[in-house]
A and B are shown apart, each in its own frame.
Chain A
């Protein structure tokens, strides 16, 4: 079974909205899927990984370009 790769645009949203949007999107995905969240609030760099740790998902990559952050999340069971 192949896993999906999805993107979420959370630019110009301030925390906790990027977390809420991530939470809601991941709720629609399957274990093994990956979600790339792009955001501009530097607070997301702490909050999205914290949300993932609490809820058992895995951050597999974090990168930044200009003022944008990209956080790649592996959806886990």
Chain B
């Protein structure tokens, strides 16, 4: 047996849960390479959260797509918590943001760099991603893809199987671990080649094409995050901050406080987990939502907050609603308030 035959080469695949990374991994597995997946959890991943919180989404499949993809491929998946390390990517992106607060190019460099560290620690040989030249406006362009390879320090150990023929040969190709002829030349935003390849491999089910997997690309979410930074006077965040931006109606009637009002039962349950950290309000004379108060509020502010929360209760047309206000440090009080009319809540209050 030759040395080459004795040593099976190993690749770590960035698995997002979308179709492209699934196909990229499969293309390389077809060449008898041992593949394991890696998935990074930044805190901004759409995956799972919205489905898990909202009752109206109960019928949606609550699976984690990255795990599901790994299971379809028959590979191991390592999910890595990068919440803290990722902050610098969000707060100080070298290459700036996309349309919203999405630092896509810095994000990809970060992920490939972390995959490289994992690869070296676990004695793997190279990294694969599902990137396609020309598919994404920031991180998947002919001029930015080499930047990812260089700045991540992966260099020629980064192989993009779906578009490899449009790029210079990488180490796995040059060393003969991978046959370049069997790699692909996809480019652009056309999804037909991916769908055809999925059919070829017998993948009849897969997650929707990539692009909607990060809250930072979402205009509404980015607006809430900007508001958080602006009102705190500093660009920083903790995990709870960014989780709460995904839940409820956010209303800022005054600069020094914001209300997070649950929209339905699932969100009520989720916000209950934060009752010990925040002043919170809930109607007790009528059925109504739990609301967290983020910021500082005096007695007059609490009256206003209670009348807003009452607006979203079943007593919104009642003359008076009793709202319980719980301050984890100061105790419980009840306020009798007149619910605000819809016309009393200006659009500008909605963050």
Which A residues fall within an 8 A CB radius of B?
Answer: 11-12, 14-17, 19-20, 23, 40-43, 45-47, 50-51, 53-55, 67
Extra contacts besides A15-B62, A54-B70 (7): CB < 8 Å:
A12-B270, A15-B49, A16-B64, A17-B41, A43-B48, A51-B79, A67-B269
**Complex contact B51–A43 (CB within 8 A):** yes
Which B residues fall within an 8 A CB radius of A?
Answer: 39, 41, 45, 47-49, 51-53, 61-64, 66-68, 70-71, 75-81, 243, 269-270, 273
**Complex contact B76–A14 (CB within 8 A):** no
CB distance from B67 to the nearest CB of A (A): 4
**Complex contact A14–B52 (CB within 8 A):** yes
The distance in angstroms between the C-alpha atoms of A17 and B273, with both chains bound, is: 15
The distance in angstroms between the C-alpha atoms of A46 and B45, with both chains bound, is: 18
Q: Which A residues are in CB contact (< 8 Å) with B71?
A: 50, 53-54
- Contact of A20 (CB < 8 Å), options: B70, B79, B270: B79
Q: Which B residues are in CB contact (< 8 Å) with A19?
A: 64, 67, 79
Contact (A46, B63) CB under 8 Å given A17-B81, A54-B70, A67-B269: yes
**Chain A binding site: helix, strand, loop or mixed by DSSP?**
helix
The distance in angstroms between the C-alpha atoms of A51 and B70, with both chains bound, is: 9
The distance in angstroms between the C-alpha atoms of A42 and B48, with both chains bound, is: 10
CB distance from B60 to the nearest CB of A (A): 10
**Complex contact B63–A50 (CB within 8 A):** yes
30 contacts between A and B (CB under 8 A): A14-B48, A14-B52, A15-B47, A16-B39, A16-B41, A16-B64, A17-B81, A20-B79, A23-B78, A41-B48, A42-B52, A43-B63, A43-B64, A46-B61, A46-B63, A47-B48, A47-B62, A47-B63, A47-B64, A47-B67, A50-B64, A50-B67, A50-B71, A51-B77, A51-B79, A53-B71, A54-B70, A54-B71, A54-B76, A55-B76
